[in-house]
Amino acid sequence: MKTFEYVILSFPMTRKTSLADMKADLNMKGAEGWEVVSISSSEFANVGHTVFLKRETTAGGAV
């Protein structure tokens, strides 16, 4: 049976470069095997985005 681990990231949209920073962070996580499952608007953290990621774990534990 497949198993997964999850990460939740918060990105406040407070600077002009925030979207570029978000893209860079998500690309880095993608290179580590993480996949975005969902993105939602976030009323906390200065009104930004909350991103939910997952990646498959190995039989012996986390990757």
Report the CATH number that the domain containing residue 21 is assigned in CATH: 3.30.70
Residue 8's nearest CA partner among 49, 41, 50 is: 50
Residue 39: give the domain boundaries: 4-56
What's the pLDDT score for residue 13?
76
Residue 62 lies in a domain: no
Give me the chain's average pLDDT, please.
84
Residue type, 42: S
Residue 11 binned pLDDT confidence (cut-offs 50, 70, 90): confident
Residue 44 lies in a domain: yes
Residue 10 lies in a domain: yes
Residue 61 lies in a domain: no
Domain count, the chain: 1
What's the pLDDT score for residue 14?
73
Residue 63 lies in a domain: no
